[in-house]
Amino acid sequence: MSLMSNYSLPPSRKYSSIRVNTVIKLYTLILLYNGPKHGYEVMKHLEKMLGTSIGPSQVYPFLHRLRRAGLLEVSKVGPRDKRVYALTQEGREFVRELLRRSLELIKAAVDALGPEEVCPPEYIREICEKICNCEC
């Protein structure tokens, strides 16, 4: 069983069938949480983040499942009618809950790697700027 295989929400939720059991799925949700993106843009961000090629079959089926579950809305923009994917409010809550449940993984990373590697000073500064608009 992979570390991420248990990160679907409780069965009482209508989207309990959404399994976030790969890093690609987790990063896709995080990218969409940060703002609407079209599919190709998601793939290019994933390639940059993961340092490997990402194909449509690794992204689009997951996007379609999210849409069917009511976690994503799709709009078409531009002259070529590109599909832009955006999390619904329910989708944003799904990601927040997923990240809350992922805190154990972060704690394990701190234990294994040490706080300096998990939270380098430049990352701490970035968080401080977002939280209090100050220089730490």
Total domain count, the chain: 2
* pLDDT in the model for residue 3: 44
Residue 87 sits in the same domain as residue 110: no
Residue 94 sits in the same domain as residue 111: no
The CATH number linked to 2 is 1.10.10.10
The whole-angstrom distance between residue 82's C-alpha and the CA centroid of its chain comes to: 21
Structure tokens at 33: 């949480």
* pLDDT in the model for residue 93: 93
Residue 2 sits in the same domain as residue 26: yes
Kindly state the helix (H) or strand (E) to which residue 85 belongs, with its residue range: strand 82-87
Range of the domain at 131: 106-136
* pLDDT in the model for residue 120: 80
Tens-binned pLDDT, residue by residue, of the chain (136 aa): 344 444 444 443 556 678 898 999 999 999 999 999 999 999 999 999 999 999 999 999 999 999 999 999 999 877 787 899 999 999 999 999 888 888 888 888 889 988 888 778 887 777 777 777 666 6
